[in-house]
Amino acid sequence: MHAVFSWELGAGYGHVQPILALGRRLRAAGGRISCLLPDRRFEELLRTSLDAGVHILPKLPEPDPSARPVSWPDLLRAHGYADASALTSRVQVVREALQALAPDLILMEHAPLSLLASRGLDAVRILHGTGFTLPPSQSPMPVFRLDGEQRASAAESQLLSAANQALQAIDQPELEQLSDMLAVDQAFLCTLPMLDHYEERADADYCGPLLVAQNHPAQTWPGGGATRVICYLKGHWPGLNALISALGELPVRALVHIDGERAGSYLAPDNVRVCPTPLDFPTLLKAADLVIHHAGHTLACQALLAGTPQWCVPLHAEQEITARRLNQIGCGHFYSGAGSLARLRKVLA
């Protein structure tokens, strides 16, 4: 059996975890793995872990970082999916890649190009993802903010028109409504009900997060206070320097992984250890008193299942909704902007 994993949108380890978790099961059963990826960042990991063939998808436009999408269609529009001509070209490229690979199984996670390009192919089509990447199949599609309904409606209409033009180009029937794009042989909500970005769905079958054990090096805690803090942060987050400095002034000991930082490239206080390799979260969460992160879905689930309180500093809409859900159920703090560090100092002092 030949399985193709397709992932287009998003960044970070959270999108690779499901590929590794499912891919290892398929490999153990004698399957062959190929991957369609947005870039080459995780190419080596997937080649070595799954003996996977890796193919890079057409590059998408970078959205305006200041724009806050109000719905899933609005998010896709920000990434260029509403440009009918460009979408048609990209869908044709992906369809040609899928036809050349001739898979028996196509597993898609936040992969709108592949959702369109795979229609009508002789393969079982599987959609898996978090609540955010697998929205409810309804029309009109739900909004993230109540004040965004007009913008969301315009985005949905534009995307439907562009998608149908792309489908015409590959001789496939048009969609009646945009949510029909999500129609596959089987869909799996790989999240916890309380972390579903669209709140709990009455008819949903939640199968939980797809987590995989990683062979990350063991980390030792630095000296410092009794309170143990672990952090997973992006190097481009504007509040990074201020947070590291604040941790250095508090009675804590902290382990920090900064995504994108090189070994030894970041000077930190004695009670803060910046680790160049990803942290062993399953082990460290058992001992940690607090985890500080951007509210990525995978780590949010891991911390929630471990019972570790969370301090969330979201970078975009998906993470902001996760942070709000954690706050609503009393399992996480959600602060951003002025005053957030002062509140953190109060919590950890």
**Residue-level pLDDT at 70:** 92
Per the DSSP assignment, residues forming a β-bridge with 293 are 232, 312
203 within domain boundaries:
no
Residue 278 or residue 310, greater confidence? 310
d(CA 308, CA 286): 8
Claim to verify: residue 46 and residue 182 sit in the same structural domain:
yes
Look-up of token digits 């939980």: 208
Claim to verify: residue 12 and residue 66 sit in the same structural domain:
yes
Claim to verify: residue 268 and residue 152 sit in the same structural domain:
no
218 within domain boundaries:
no
Task: Pick the range with the lowest mean pLDDT from 133-137, 223-227, 337-341.
Answer: 337-341
Claim to verify: residue 233 and residue 145 sit in the same structural domain:
no
Closest to 232 in 3D by CA, of 277, 173, 166: 277
210 within domain boundaries:
no
Claim to verify: residue 119 and residue 164 sit in the same structural domain:
yes
- Is the pLDDT at 272 greater than 80, yes or no? yes
Q: What is the pLDDT of residues 191-215, one digit of tens each?
A: 999 999 988 787 788 999 988 777 7
Per the DSSP assignment, residues forming a β-bridge with 256 are 231, 274
DSSP 139: S
222 within domain boundaries:
no
Look-up of token digits 């192919």: 121
State how far Cα 63 lies from the chain centre. 16
Claim to verify: residue 289 and residue 330 sit in the same structural domain:
yes
d(CA 313, CA 316): 10
- Is the pLDDT at 166 greater than 70, yes or no? yes
Claim to verify: residue 146 and residue 66 sit in the same structural domain:
yes
Boundary residue ending a domain (153, 173, 195): 195
Q: What is the pLDDT of residues 67-110, one digit of tens each?
A: 788 999 999 999 999 999 999 999 999 999 999 999 999 999 99
Per the DSSP assignment, residues forming a β-bridge with 189 are 129, 206
**Residue-level pLDDT at 57:** 93
- Is the pLDDT at 175 greater than 70, yes or no? yes
Mean pLDDT, the chain, rounded, equals 91
180 within domain boundaries:
yes
Boundary residue ending a domain (146, 173, 195): 195
- Is the pLDDT at 262 greater than 60, yes or no? no
**Residue-level pLDDT at 237:** 87
- Is the pLDDT at 264 greater than 70, yes or no? no
176 within domain boundaries:
yes
Rounded mean pLDDT, 298-307: 94
Claim to verify: residue 183 and residue 303 sit in the same structural domain:
no
Claim to verify: residue 20 and residue 135 sit in the same structural domain:
yes
Task: Give the confidence band of 180 by pLDDT, cuts at 50, 70, 90.
Answer: very high
202 within domain boundaries:
no
212 within domain boundaries:
no
Claim to verify: residue 297 and residue 171 sit in the same structural domain:
no
**Residue-level pLDDT at 178:** 97
Claim to verify: residue 51 and residue 166 sit in the same structural domain:
yes
Range of the domain at 86: 2-195
Q: What domain count does the chain have? A: 2
User: The CATH number of the domain where 10 resides is what?
Assistant: 3.40.50.2000
**Residue-level pLDDT at 210:** 85
Rounded mean pLDDT, 211-240: 87
**Residue-level pLDDT at 261:** 65
Residue 175 or residue 317, greater confidence? 175
